[in-house]
Structure 1
Amino acid sequence: MEDNPSKPISQHTKAQRVILFPLPFQGHMNPMLQLANILHSRSFTISILYHQYNSPDPSKYPHFSFHLIPGGLSEDQADKDDPLHLVRLLNTDCIRPTRDCLGKLLSTHDDTACIIMDAMMYSSQAVAEDLGIPRITLRTSSVCSFLAMATLPVLRDKGYFSMIDYRREDPVLELPPLKVKDIQAIRIENLNDTLKIVSNMLEGTKTASGLIFNTFQDLEEPNLANLYEQIRTPTFLLGPFHRFFSAASSSLLAQDRSCISWLDTQKPNSVLYVSFGSLAAMDENNVREVAWGLSNSMQPFLLVVRPGLVQGSEWLEFLPNEFLEVTGKRGCIVKWAPQQEVLSHPAVGGFWTHSGWNSVLESICEGVPMICSSFLGDQMVNSRYINDVWRLGIKLECGFERDEIESAIRKIMLDREGQDIREKLVCLKKKMDLSSKTDGFFGPIAKRFI
């Protein structure tokens, strides 16, 4: 990555408008809107393209102009239980209305410098080339998970997705530190379709004018040489975005702030915060194991139970009555929480997470050790790196078993292991602060493209 220039970004520029297009999932929309806020704070005019499905609330961003894509993805079209199906729709059926909307916007704004699109919108590269506008991609995951995705076709050809000739605990020699079980957990029902989407995403990234990661060098430096070998696209590590602008305003779910008042009554570093993100799905048996693991640990907890976490449930009816009786005031349960504020609260001493990248970065920035589960996509890679490489948390290797859950909670919250992780996080945070102090933080990308 290039050195930051000393003068502010606006002094490098002539064109002052940037058009951004987020993927309509919370984990993708949050960092894109944070990036938009950062660019706006550095004197850029911001336009946001969006679909009707999972649309952002323009009233929360009066300083942006919003442009609905007519004929784009609607609530009726969306299959909320199949994110990959939505990605396919966005890159096939929705690409013509996207092109028409973008073309109209460009025709009325000749000050546009570039478009920034989610990397999963791979078909937009052809649209950008047709319209003669530079396209920069935003990859909302970690560098290590990006490299893992790039290697999936090789692993498929070598048989890692079948049990033949491999034990689940065996290492993946082509992709350390991953294990066979991590790779097999990434498997989607239709593997070939998944790999086709991955291949298209990689090709769209390689042909883009630039690539942005929401990460920072001190965390992922060992992977950067490998990244630069595979991707010749100019690459910029500009995160974590949320340190500049919170994700609270872009949340697609209503936040229950009563949990903050409850945290105010708890002792410092005593509460385990538990949230499995906006897309995870669990069965009732796993949720019961989660409940009894929390109960048996005897630690205070703040538990997020999103409606739909268990398919067909309204909210808490699948939790054992005995669990609610035993834990009593020791636990607080909400449908959704203001996560960044929760993690920064002095009462929170640990975070049991689904290992989504936004959650991982927020936990690192607030110095909170993690317990890692994983459900889909990049989460398997993130959790393995957290446990084996970065040593910033504990991965639950057995899935959801109450004894392992109880043990992990006690290690993180009470034992020396948790304290060692906190000390490591303090050192990492200091390095991260130094990397983003200069006024020219966004200078490299502005100097090259804008």
Structure 2
Amino acid sequence: MEERKGRKIIMFPLPFQGHLNPMIQLARIFHNLGFSITILHTSFNFPDPSHYPPFTFRTIPHNNEGGEDPLTQPEASSMDLVAFIRLLRQTYEDPFRRSLAGEVGKGDTSSCCLVSDVVWAKHAEFAAEEVGIDRMVLITNSVASFCAFAALPLLRDKDYLPIQDYRLDELVTEVSPLKVKDLPVMETSEPKELYQIASDMVKGANSSSGVIWNTFEDLEKLPLMDFSSKFQVPIFPIGPFHKQSDNLLPTTKNKEDYETTDWLNKQEPQSVVYVSFGSLADIEEKEFLEIAWGLRNSERPFLWVVRPGFVQGTEWLEALPSGFVENMGHKGKIVKWVNQLEVLAHPAVGAFWTHCGWNSTIESICEGVPMICTPCFTDQRVNSRYIVDVWRIGIELERSKMDKREIEKAISSVMVEEGDGIREMCLELKERADVCLDKDGSSFKNLENLVSHILSFNSYAKIT
């Protein structure tokens, strides 16, 4: 601990909740190990510094001098993800370089390294080289989904892409067990730029001083081997992050949190279907109503997170039929937000209907909760295939086939029939997740190796 005192790790997360949360969790882990933490962040969707008093936060000024951050403009919210990443780069690439240079400073020897999101890896590479600081990357996806994303240019050359409807169920042998419909593509008007993003991520990761993963060896042994065979870079699978960082800093609860907990406390063990589709996806009103009636008709208690703006063209619940909420009674509860970690850990929760984002996936695995998988885009499709066919801890409910009757059947399959020993497999993976964090566990040892690796860096800060 003493050798880390005063040593600083600079971190740069992307301003998407699914990327920001694991970076903050990693920062907590580093801080608990004795490092000081500085977080560079955009002025768009930035964390509340008051929630993390041990960290130093530095806002990177955007390059639209005298105006608003372009990322906050109404037109930015309607962009596809590829276009948004391009705007992020245009808005922050040069300001990021200047901010990093100012943070490191002339002759600074306290800064150990920069940890950036892998999507920013190529831009971080040039900035880190300029100031003479070592650079690591955090990959916030699963190893399997990153390997699939990295393979997109190859899969395009082999005519898997663009995806053709008649091939959706065809096995992609290059990234088995994925099918064509599982490939982590994005809907975009700039497909060439998507492949360039994939290429930049690969190059940025491969040229870094190491890759950090929010996963553990027993969960993704084969994908980790695949990655190591293709990338000549040290890897550190030290997850699950939240199991190491959740007690390091206090969290505050509001009235809605207590109401949700009180409602869960009144339910029978493993009786509740928890439903949440993440922070980015949106759906049409027709889909929303199918979900509502499917949950209602299942006759199982449900806790449903409906994010404001989740339903296209509405603010929140306006699309529900008159009296729907009132007539749910104690059988259902609809909220705008929950503390997902607390909900998944509650004994009343028996299944998680999820979009299969990686954070949600690994959090559910850690609590032994079976999943109903309705992926929306990119890596979520890969995660869903692994949940259903590799780890066998959930069932698939495809978005294209989602109606109230199929929803009822899926809920019954997981909650009542428990087909194919899903719950037993969930408990087995939960135990493995716990074991990996023990003193002799793989994540514990990998974290020790990561700390030693960081302390071996000889940053020389060549700002003049």
TM-score, L = length of structure 2: 0.89
Query: Do residues 62 (structure 1) and 53 (structure 2) align?
Result: yes
**Distance in 2, Cα, partners of 1:233 & 1:440:** 18
Q: CA deviation at 1:190?
A: 2.5
Q: 2:28 aligns with which of 25, 30, 37?
A: 37
Q: CA deviation at 1:283?
A: 0.7
Distance 1:405 1:388, change over 3 A: same
Task: Could you list the structure 1 runs, at least 4 aligned residues long, displaced by more than 6 angstroms after superposition.
Answer: 247-251
The correspondence of residues 33-432 of structure 1 with structure 2, limited to 5 A, is 33-71=24-62, 75-78=69-72, 79-82=76-79, 83-107=81-105, 109-122=108-121, 123-162=123-162, 166-183=166-183, 186-246=186-246, 256-257=256-257, 258-321=259-322, 323-324=324-325, 327-397=328-398, 398-417=400-419, 420-432=421-433
**Distance in 1, Cα, partners of 2:236 & 2:171:** 30
Distance 1:30 1:131, change over 3 A: same
**One-letter amino acid of the structure 2 residue matched with residue 349 of structure 1:** G
Q: CA deviation at 1:432?
A: 2.1
Q: CA deviation at 1:162?
A: 4.2
Normalized per residue, the structure richer in helix is 2
Q: CA deviation at 1:405?
A: 1.4
Q: CA deviation at 1:255?
A: 8.8
**Distance in 1, Cα, partners of 2:88 & 2:250:** 21
Distance 1:440 1:389, change over 3 A: closer
Distance 1:247 1:51, change over 3 A: farther
Distance 1:255 1:199, change over 3 A: farther
**Distance in 2, Cα, partners of 1:49 & 1:449:** 19
Secondary structure of 2:211 counterpart = strand
Q: CA deviation at 1:97?
A: 0.8
**Distance in 1, Cα, partners of 2:63 & 2:250:** 20
Please tell me the root mean square deviation across aligned C-alpha atoms, in Å.
2.4
**One-letter amino acid of the structure 2 residue matched with residue 130 of structure 1:** E
Does 184-193 or 100-109 show the bigger shift? 184-193
**Distance in 2, Cα, partners of 1:434 & 1:113:** 30
Query: Do residues 449 (structure 1) and 454 (structure 2) align?
Result: yes
Distance 1:376 1:276, change over 3 A: same
May I ask how many residue pairs the two structures share in their alignment? 439
For 2:438, the equivalent position in structure 1 comes to 437
Query: Do residues 18 (structure 1) and 13 (structure 2) align?
Result: no
Secondary structure of 1:256 counterpart = helix
**Distance in 2, Cα, partners of 1:149 & 1:85:** 17
**One-letter amino acid of the structure 1 residue matched with residue 96 of structure 2:** T
Secondary structure of 1:49 counterpart = strand
Distance 1:277 1:255, change over 3 A: farther
Alignment gaps of 5+ in structure 1 = 1-9
**One-letter amino acid of the structure 1 residue matched with residue 301 of structure 2:** P
**Distance in 2, Cα, partners of 1:165 & 1:283:** 22
Q: CA deviation at 1:77?
A: 2.9
Secondary structure of 1:94 counterpart = helix
TM-score, L = length of structure 1: 0.91
- Cα offsets for 1:181-203 (capped at 9, x unmatched): 22386443322121111111111
**Equivalent pair of 1:186/1:380 in contact (CA under 8 Å):** no
Distance 1:326 1:173, change over 3 A: farther
Q: Percent identity?
A: 44
Alignment gaps of 5+ in structure 2 = 456-464
- Cα offsets for 1:270-305 (capped at 9, x unmatched): 000000000011111111111121122111100011
- Cα offsets for 1:299-330 (capped at 9, x unmatched): 11000110010122111011233643553331
